[in-house]
């Protein structure tokens, strides 16, 4: 005995699946961070991995294939720094933009304590890059 699937049932299932997919609100973005590095200035021309205590920190992000609504976030952390609890978040900055070069800047009114730092770069709320650096 052979069972035949009714044509209306197949159409209803296909329609329900289509509604489900649309309701999930998939967001397919080709935005990506092509490169990220630490620098000594906002143009990003000099790449570094260490700073002097009086320096300004610049985290450079080269964002590609990104719509203007792409969100980026930099979370700055003192990983192993003299006089600071281990892995303490010291600053967080967000930006919304399209493709291009962006710099996140971190300053200090006094001298930076010596030690190891990092900045986590988030692309659309997902961790994408981690840049490590030190102050000597």
Residue 20 domain flag: no
Q: Tell me, what's the pLDDT at 51?
A: 98
Summarize pLDDT for 14-34 with one digit per residue, the tens.
555 444 444 444 445 799 999
Per-residue pLDDT at 55 = 98
Least confident of 3-7, 25-29, 42-46, 96-100: 25-29
85 part of a folded domain: yes
Average the pLDDT over 113-128 and give the result.
98
Q: What is the CA angle 48-109-104, rounded to 5?
A: 45
Number of domains observed in the structure of the chain:
1
Q: Is residue 19 part of a domain?
A: no
Percent of the chain whose predicted confidence (pLDDT) is above 70 = 79
Chain segment 79-104, per-residue pLDDT in tens: 999 999 999 999 999 999 999 999 99
Q: Cβ neighbours of residue 90 under 8 Å, at least 6 residues apart?
A: 76, 77, 78, 84, 106
User: What is the strand order of the sheet 100-106 is part of?
Assistant: 32-39, 57-64, 100-106
pLDDT reported for residue 8 = 62
Is 4 a domain residue?
A: no
pLDDT at 5: 57
In a domain, 51, yes or no: yes
| Range(s) of the domain holding residue 92 | 32-135
CATH number of the domain at 43, please: 2.60.40.1930
- Alpha-carbon distance values, 8 to 13, 14, 21 (Å): 9, 10, 20
At CA 90, angle to CA 86 and CA 95, rounded to 5?
135
Residue 61 CA to residue 120 CA, distance in Å, equals 11
- The helices-and-strands tally (H runs, E runs) of the chain is 1, 8
């Amino acid at each position: 005995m052979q069972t035949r699937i009714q044509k209306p049932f197949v159409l209803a299932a296909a329609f329900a699946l289509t509604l489900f997919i649309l309701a999930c609100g998939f967001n397919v973005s080709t935005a990506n961070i092509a490169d990220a590095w630490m620098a000594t200035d906002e143009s990003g021309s000099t790449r570094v991995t260490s700073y002097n205590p009086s320096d300004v920190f610049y985290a450079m992000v080269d964002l590609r294939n990104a719509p203007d609504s792409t969100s980026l976030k930099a979370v700055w952390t003192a990983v192993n720094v003299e006089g600071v609890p281990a892995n303490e978040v010291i600053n967080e900055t967000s930006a919304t933009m399209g493709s291009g070069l962006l710099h996140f800047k971190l300053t200090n009114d006094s001298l930076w304590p010596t030690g190891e730092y990092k900045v986590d770069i988030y692309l659309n709320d997902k961790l994408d890059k981690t840049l490590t650096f030190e102050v000597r």
